[in-house]
Amino acid sequence: MSSLTTNTSRPSRVARILNSNIVYSFRRNPVAVVSMVVFLIIAVASVLAPLIAPFDPYDPASIDIMNSEYPPVWVDGAEAGFVLGTDDQGRDLWSTILYGTRLSLIIGLCAVAVQAFLGITIGLLAGYIGGRLDSLLMRFADIQLSFSTLMVAIIFLAITQAMFGSDTFNQYAIYFLIAVIGIAEWPQYARTVRATVLAEKKKEYVDSARVLGFGPIRIMVRHILPNSLSPIFVISTVQVANAIISEASLSFLGLGMPPSQPSLGSLISSGFDYIFSGSWWITTIPGVVLVVLVLVINLLGDWMRDVLNPKLYKG
């Protein structure tokens, strides 16, 4: 006696995902497809760096200072073994970029994971509980936002570097970077999540859960959070790009990854001294990789925002 509309047979889970609106709009958007392909190539290549790279830039034994500053193969005076040339220390640039991209991506993703954890927790609490706690947490976020990320990071990293000394700092630089970028940017998440929670909290399914006697943690985690994921996805992509840029900036300023374990930023920085002596490739090639990486992530973020926020289209 019930529905006549839903009596068609049910497609499998995979078929439903492939047929979903997100996948459809992805296939229809060439910019998103190209960005995704480029991002996947960069990501896979960097993850497989130890297998792909002809040299290990972390192994001092494989580096010969005599090989320094060979240009890329398409420039005169190149050495056949070094496709993209070598840097000032004689490291193969192609291998170093692969390893550097891997570091940049790891720092970016981990920093965003830290941001997301802090921001989502705080945003959920502020939005759901509200009142004094909300005011307190949000004022705290405002204060944090009024300092720029880089300023906080520079002060924090400069102090830690001075406290622990260069060697210890270099050893743990990656953790410091993740922590500082992660902590400095949680308010972005917290604000977005709080705004979504405030909107979701008014919906009747939340009232329904309260009438059924569920506790606040269950309601927050099991009911509100899964319905607040769209903006979290959107902000996450943008934040990964931002975190990679922050890391590169800090490394460029000498406060990030040490030259012995270069990320893209420290590679750009180390080549910067040689840019006027003719060895432009040490800075330029990792620079291009960095720009392309950040650009494709941002383009994917744009696409995702359009898909997950249909209101933008309807205007």
Partner 1 sequence: MSLLSVRDLTVKFAMRDETVTALNQISFDLAKGERLGIVGESGAGKSITGFSLMNLISRPGFIDQGQILFDGDDVARMSDKELRTMRGNRMAMIFQDPMVTLNPVLTIGQQMVETLRAHRKLSRAEAEQIAIVKLREVYIPSPEERMNQYPHELSGGMRQRIIIAMALLLDPQLIIADEPTTALDVTIQADIMELLLELCQSNKVGLILITHDLGVVSQMTERTLVMYAGRIIEAGKTREIINDPQHPYTQGLINALPQQTLPGHKLKQIPGAMPSLTAIPAGCPFSPRCQYAVDHCRSTLPEVVQYAGVEVACHEVNRLHNDRLEQSA
Partner 2 sequence: MKDMTQTRPLLELKGLEKRFDLDQGVLETVKLRGGKIVREQRSVHAVNNVTLEVDRGEALCVVGESGCGKSTVARLVAGLLTPSAGEIHYDGQRIDDCSRKELLPLRKKMQMIFQNPYASLNPRMTIQQALEEPVHHHNPSMTRAEVHEKVIEVMQSVGVDPLWASRYPHEFSGGQRQRIAIARALTVDPEFIIADEPISALDVSIQAQVLNLMLDAKEDRGLTYLFITHDLSVVEHFGSKVVVLYLGAICEMADTATLFASPKHPYTKALLSAVPQLKDDKPNHIRLKGEIPTPINLPTGCPFHTRCPAANNRCLAEKPRPIQQTDGSTVACHGVEEGRL
Residues forming contacts to partner 2 in the complex (CB under 8 A) are 1-3, 5-6, 10, 203-205, 207-215, 218, 222-223, 226-227
1 versus 80: smaller Cβ distance to partner 1: 1
Report in angstroms the alpha-carbon separations of 54 from 81, 163, 282, 288.
9, 37, 18, 21
Minimum distance from residue 222 beta carbon to partner 2 (Å) = 8
In terms of phi and psi (left: phi > 0; alpha: psi -120 to 50; beta: otherwise), the region of 204 is alpha
Return the closest-CA partner of residue 283 out of 57, 50, 69, 59: 69
Q: Which does 8 bind (CB under 5 to 8 A by kind): partner 2, partner 1, none?
A: partner 1
Minimum distance from residue 32 beta carbon to partner 2 (Å) = 24
Minimum distance from residue 207 beta carbon to partner 1 (Å) = 23
Minimum distance from residue 140 beta carbon to partner 2 (Å) = 18
8-67 binders of partner 1 (CB under 8 A): 8, 24
Tell me how far apart the alpha carbons of residues 150 and 247 are, in angstroms, rounded to a whole number: 9
Tell me how far apart the alpha carbons of residues 159 and 224 are, in angstroms, rounded to a whole number: 40
Minimum distance from residue 213 beta carbon to partner 1 (Å) = 32
32 versus 225: smaller Cβ distance to partner 2: 225
Q: Which does 172 bind (CB under 5 to 8 A by kind): partner 1, partner 2, none?
A: none
Tell me how far apart the alpha carbons of residues 25 and 16 are, in angstroms, rounded to a whole number: 14
214-233 binders of partner 1 (CB under 8 A): none
DSSP-derived 3-state class of residue 298: helix
* Residue type at 173 in one-letter notation: A
Pinpoint the alpha helices (H) of 67-148: 93-129, 131-146
* Residue type at 24 in one-letter notation: Y
79 versus 139: smaller Cβ distance to partner 2: 139
Is 4 a binder of partner 1 (CB under 8 A)? yes
Q: Which does 113 bind (CB under 5 to 8 A by kind): partner 1, partner 2, none?
A: none
Q: Which does 24 bind (CB under 5 to 8 A by kind): partner 2, partner 1, none?
A: partner 1
Minimum distance from residue 218 beta carbon to partner 1 (Å) = 33
Q: At what angle do helices 229-252 and 264-272 cross, to 10 degrees?
A: 30
- Pair 101, 46: CB distance under 8 Å: yes
What is the contact surface with partner 1 in residues (CB under 8 A)?
1-5, 8, 24
